[in-house]
Amino acid sequence: MTIAIDIAQRITAMRYDTLPAEAVHWAKVAIIDTFACALAGANEDATRIAEKVAATYGGAGPALLWGTNRRLSALDAAIVNGVAGHALDYDDVNNTIGGHPSVPILPAIIGLGEMLGASGKDILLAYITGFETQARIGSAVNVYHYRKGWHPTATLGVFGAAAASARLLNLDVPKTATALAIAASLSSGIKANFGTMTKPLHAGHCSRNGLYAALMAKDGFTASHDALEHAQGFFELFNGAGNYHVEKIVANWANPLDVLSPGIGLKQYPCCASTHSAIDATLVLRERHNLTPARVAKIETVTHAPALAHTNRPDPKTALDAKFSVQYCVARALMHGAVTFDHFADSALMQPELRAMLGKVTATAHPSLPKDMGEHYQGVVNITTVDGQQFSARVDQPLRGPQNLAPPDRLEAKFKDCAGLALRADAVPRLYEQLRAVDSLSNICELTEFMAQSVIAAGARRAAA
């Protein structure tokens, strides 16, 4: 039996009625958070360019472009909505894949669901199935996969999108395995493009490719079912001999579901997750010791080397670059007591007071490395004041999820803040309630049609950054 067949048997066996209630709850939370981030990102330059290209060279269809009243084919909409969902780098993360778990999956299955007239329960089952698939494959290849330079959101997310789409299409075992094998050839995404528009393109691209793989398999397209374990297959080429552990994929499939443990991590700030512990530690010290920029002589952030590789950006030149600069994020946290959308406007980068604060921040590598992906969320901040006092704080887990619960109103506040950038004020709380009760929808089109009718006129839209 090939690995693709083994996984496909588990995918096709997934049933909504057997899902734990807690898993359904966290799937709803992830859907709410992903829609929030996509609505906030709908007017970003990266999203608008992606839409322009898709609309010019693609075709009309039934799938809504979130945050607009325009529609394209499900494949084209998956790209655009995926870019929107990741454009602000505000969407959820997951330790097992070492990336963003929801944005590869949801644009694919929402567009496909509009084509099929899928119910809310169908969407939830597909989402949890896709999440489990990409996470189990992730458990076999990480953390080496991430450190090698692949962007797992894309390279693993394509399997999540393919599995979720296959489940929504109700494909049988052989065709589901074919979808996974096709996805192996469509997997791509390198970290060299972090800090540019290509990073959110990774999310849209893998969402579209996963859906495409499932649709092709449905219609009889062929692929090698040993594409994962073949000598020239996914594991050998992406990780190399000795750097992956196939047995982990099915060893504890859905026991527990990865959406529950370790689950999703909800971002509190619209920037790279690897900066969040440093932000939190800075905010703790700022409040605890009444620190102001004038009182601070030096800030040292201590980050694990794998995270520092993409967050050590002492002189960010663009808003996207700043989202990956731990120095910039810490400077903003100390200056304002928060890190917000406004701080990632291009016009904010050259403010004299920001530049003065930025010059006080240094980033160094932690001397030891833990073995799991949690290394990206651990950080220490040391602050020295102008009168020689020294303060230090450490944060190990800033992200909110099943293992680190947020205050009950935090998700709703984030949703309203984000969705209000694209939708009428009166529609935002109604959409939030629809998403909370997505399992009661008989047709997902009820949700997307309400979104389409609720958009703010382009001329009145507020910018997210």
Q: How confident is the model at residue 408 (pLDDT cuts 50, 70, 90)?
A: low
CA proximity to 341, closest of 355, 317, 358, 322: 322
Residue 404's identity, in one-letter code, is N
Whether 164 and 180 have beta carbons less than 8 Å apart is answered as: no
- Least confident range from 5-14, 77-86, 274-283: namely 274-283
We report the CATH number of the domain holding residue 92 as 1.10.4100.10
Please tell me the predicted confidence (pLDDT) of residue 219: 98
Whether 304 and 375 have beta carbons less than 8 Å apart is answered as: yes
CA proximity to 16, closest of 175, 168, 171: 168
Please tell me the predicted confidence (pLDDT) of residue 460: 57
Tokens of 5: 């067949």
In this structure, the strands spanning 379-385 and 296-303 are antiparallel
CA distance 91 to 85: 7
Report the share of the chain in percent with pLDDT over 90: 81
- Tokens 């780098």: give the residue: 89
Same domain, yes or no, for 181 and 102? yes
In this structure, the strands spanning 361-365 and 296-303 are parallel
Report the share of the chain in percent with pLDDT over 70: 94
CA distance 183 to 159: 6
3 state DSSP class of 201: helix
Q: How confident is the model at residue 465 (pLDDT cuts 50, 70, 90)?
A: very low
Domain count, the chain: 2
Same domain, yes or no, for 188 and 47? yes
The whole-chain average pLDDT of the chain stands at 93
Please tell me the predicted confidence (pLDDT) of residue 159: 99
Same domain, yes or no, for 162 and 193? yes
Whether 394 and 379 have beta carbons less than 8 Å apart is answered as: yes
Tokens of 106: 């949801």
CA distance 456 to 63: 19
Same domain, yes or no, for 294 and 348? yes
Q: What average pLDDT does range 167-188 have in this prediction?
A: 98
Whether 127 and 31 have beta carbons less than 8 Å apart is answered as: yes
Higher per-residue pLDDT: 359 or 403: 359
We report the CATH number of the domain holding residue 353 as 3.30.1330.120
Whether 239 and 144 have beta carbons less than 8 Å apart is answered as: yes
Which of 355, 370, 395 terminates a domain? The answer is 395
Same domain, yes or no, for 24 and 125? yes
Which of 395, 423, 449 terminates a domain? The answer is 395
CA distance 438 to 417: 20
Q: How confident is the model at residue 342 (pLDDT cuts 50, 70, 90)?
A: confident
Same domain, yes or no, for 168 and 39? yes
Output the CA angle 417-421-426, nearest 5 degrees.
80
Residues with Cβ within 8 Å of 157's Cβ and at least 6 positions away in sequence, in order, are 97, 99, 100, 101, 103, 104, 105, 134, 202, 203, 206, 207, 210
Tokens of 269: 């700030």
Please tell me the predicted confidence (pLDDT) of residue 398: 72
Residue 249: give the domain boundaries.
Answer: 3-263
- Tokens 């649709």: give the residue: 215
Whether 108 and 204 have beta carbons less than 8 Å apart is answered as: no
Residue 365 φ/ψ, nearest 5 degrees: -90, 140
User: What confidence tens digit (pLDDT) does each residue in 284-338 have?
Assistant: 999 999 999 999 999 999 988 878 888 999 999 888 899 999 999 999 999 999 9
